Amino acid sequence: MGLDFLGRVAIVTGAGGGLGRAHALALAARGAKVVVNDLGGGRDGVGAHSGAAQAVAQEILAAGGVAMANTASVSDAHAVQALVDEVIGRWGRIDVLVNNAGILRDKSFAKMSVDDFRAVMDVHVMGAVHCCKAVWPHMVAQHYGRIVMTTSSSGLYGNFGQSNYGSAKMALVGLMQTLAIEGAKHQIRVNSLAPTAATRMTEGLMPAAVLEALQPDAVVPAMLLLASEDAPTRVTLCAGAGHFGAAHVTLTRGAWVGVGEDAPERLATLLPHVLDATGALVPESGSVQGQHEVSQATAHLRGQ
């Protein structure tokens, strides 16, 4: 097999079922030592049970792989740090982190409590932050690391009833962008995966026939690629039902409007041109936007 993880150590969060389980099994089958992390709570994050993580770890061991189970909540920074310390003590390194843990508390924004919004942000966003922060110094020291964020079309494009989930998932793309830039000199590559799969998280959200086509295993190839030695960096792959695409945050060429009292009216007139995606850019960093704007203004002023 081309994508080989022999000698690598991987942590997969939310690996007690669904996509996380599929990720953990695939990494183990290709030679990785795998930490199966799962709190064992409900889809809404309530409760805890060690059975889910233990079952997947046993499944890996029974197949001849190497695994350990862990039930830390990714929203607990101290528990995550203890997990990472244990892995380093046992296996000496951490090569791959798949931030997959997540919860759902879907409601329209008008009916959603702030507590439900915060709970989803804590697990998805701060959970990924805690895990990245804990593994980062080890990846820097070994001059190697692969981190996969789990984003979602709900974050990239929006979805009714998921303002909390969508906000969290788009935040992970922002985290990916900066960590990829900061990690480049240390050979740490950071990417995002936007999966569409039939899991506990999607039960009741799609027709049964659609869910049948969206098996978690169909998403795994994208994760393996993004976690591999030859992985790209700062890539967001969308995957589902065996189809793969890439999502980009782009910047249109736009138009120079200038300043002055009538600038709002001029902008309104030029808005179709500003929104035109022809020749859109994929900026290398946030500063590129400012550089683009200044260059356009300078070009206009020189032409006067």
Domain CATH for 40: 3.40.50.720
3-class SS of residue 157 = coil
Tell me, yes or no, whether 44 and 182 share the same domain. Answer: yes
For the residues 97-116, what does the mean pLDDT come to? 97
What is the average pLDDT across 246-250? 96
Q: Is 226 helix (H, G, I), strand (E, B) or coil?
A: helix
Q: Is residue 150 part of a domain?
A: yes
Kindly calculate the radius of gyration of the chain based on its CA atoms and give it in whole angstroms: 21
Whether 258 is covered by a domain: the verdict is no
The confidence band for 197, taking pLDDT boundaries of 50, 70 and 90, is confident
- Domain hosting 284: range is 263-303
Residue 235 and residue 275 share a domain: no
Task: Judge whether 275 and 255 are in contact, CB under 8 Å.
Answer: no
* pLDDT score of 188: 98
Q: Tell whether 96 and 16 lie within a shared domain.
A: yes
Q: Which of these three, 223, 247, 271, is where a domain ends?
A: 247
Distance CA 211, CA 206 (A): 6
The whole-number pLDDT of residue 304 equals: 61
**Confidence bin at 46 (pLDDT 50/70/90):** confident
Domain-embedded: residue 213: yes
For residues 230 and 288, state if they share a domain: no
Domain assignment present for 155: yes
Percent of the chain residues topping a pLDDT of 70: 92
Lookup: tokens for 239: 């995957």
Domain count within the chain? 2
**Is residue 206 in a domain?**
yes
The pLDDT value given to residue 40: 86
Instruction: Assess whether 285 and 151 both reside in one domain.
Output: no
Is the pLDDT at 206 greater than 70, yes or no? Answer: no
pTM (2 d.p.): 0.93
145 occurs within a structural domain = yes
CA 276, CA 266: separation in Å to the nearest integer? 16
pLDDT band at 29 (very low <50, low <70, confident <90, very high): very high
User: Are 76 and 149 in the same domain?
Assistant: yes
Find out whether 15 and 36 touch, Cβ atoms under 8 Å: yes
Please check the confidence at residue 145 and state whether its pLDDT lies above 60: yes
Average pLDDT score over residue span 196-203? 64
Residues labelled as active-site residues? 165
* Residue 280 sits in the same domain as residue 210: no
Question: 15 and 237 in contact (C-beta within 8 Å)?
Answer: no
In this structure, the answer to whether residues 74 and 129 fall within a common structural domain is yes
Cα distance between residue 263 and residue 259, in whole Å: 5
User: How many CB atoms sit inside 10 A of residue 229's CB?
Assistant: 13
Q: Are residues 288 and 242 in the same domain?
A: no
Residues 290 and 205 occupy one common structural domain: no
pLDDT of residue 48: 58
**273 and 237 within one domain:** no
pLDDT at residue 113 greater than cutoff 80? yes
Could you tell me if residue 131 is inside a domain? Answer: yes
Give domain status of residue 254, yes or no: no
